[in-house]
Amino acid sequence: MTKDKICKSVVKTYNEKGIEGLTVKTVALAAGIGKSTVYEYFSSKEEMVAEAIIYSANYFIDDFYNKEWNQSELNFEETLKSSISYFIEAMHKEFGDFVQMAMESSNSKFKEYMKEKKQKELLALGMKAISYTRTLLKKGQDEKIIRDNISDLDILNFQRIMVMLCGNFSTHAPFFKALSSDIENPSQYVYDHLVKLYHV
């Protein structure tokens, strides 16, 4: 599908050329199509980047949770550790930096577009992630590892803390590299911290 191809090319172009080199023209070249074809799907660069963020985030959430958190043959500890390893590795891949860049963009025009046009889709992504996380924590509750009284806020915080802890092992920031350089087993480290917060 051409729209998906364009979204993938936005990510590829950003990772090869940076934000300065990310234009409709460079994306069209990367996708092997003309600029006019890009404009058939997107009216502006902001819309194109926003759509690429939603596309990348949806792909990541579905790939990550479906592959890692829905493995019924694994127990809770195995599932969560496998998920943590996958997440750290995925954050090193091209869409990790792209989504972070886009969400932290100082471009006010882009931020305004996201606020006006993409709030419902971003909310839907968040709800999808909460649903998957609730399934995982239920597995932990069934195994008497995770306490029973888990609220929606707890689930959201679980996600945020996991992202923050995994980020320590995947970011390019020197501070976090130094902080995590002595940790031999990142998956165990993140697992221990998460379970400590929600343990029975």
Q: Which residues have C-beta within 8 Å of that of residue 190, sequence separation ≥ 6? A: 84, 162, 165, 166
> Rounded mean pLDDT of 23-37?
93
pLDDT bracket for residue 106 (50, 70, 90): low
| More confident of the two residues 25 and 14 | 25
Integer-rounded Cα radius of gyration of the chain: 19
N-to-C CA span, the chain: 47
Mean pLDDT of the chain: 81
Assign 120 a pLDDT band (cuts: 50, 70, 90). Answer: confident
Higher per-residue confidence, 196 vs 119: 196
- Number of Cβ within 10 Å of residue 175's Cβ equals 9
Residue ranges of domains in the chain, CATH in brackets: 1-42 (1.10.10.60), 51-198 (1.10.357)
Q: Taking residues 95-103, report their average pLDDT.
A: 58
Amino acid 112 reads E
pLDDT at 98 over 80: no
CB 147 within 8 Å of CB 154: no
* pLDDT recorded at residue 54: 82
Find which of 52-66, 124-138, 145-159 is predicted with most confidence, using mean pLDDT.
Answer: 145-159
Q: What is the DSSP track for 150-176?
A: --HHHHHHHHHHHHHHHHTTT---HHH
Judged against a pLDDT cut of 80, whether residue 52 lies above it is answered with yes
Q: What six digits make up the tokens of 5? A: 């191809």
Structure tokens at 159: 């996600």
Q: Which of 50, 17, 49 has the alpha carbon at shortest distance from 120?
A: 50
The answer on pLDDT for 139 being more than 60 is yes
**pTM assigned to the model:** 0.71
Q: Which amino acid is at 79?
A: T
Instruction: Look at residue 180 in the predicted model and tell me its pLDDT.
Output: 63
Retrieve residue 144's tokens: 């008497």
C-alpha to C-alpha distances, 35 to 19, 25, 29, 40, 43, nearest whole angstrom: 18, 6, 8, 9, 11
Specify the 3-state DSSP secondary structure of 32.
coil
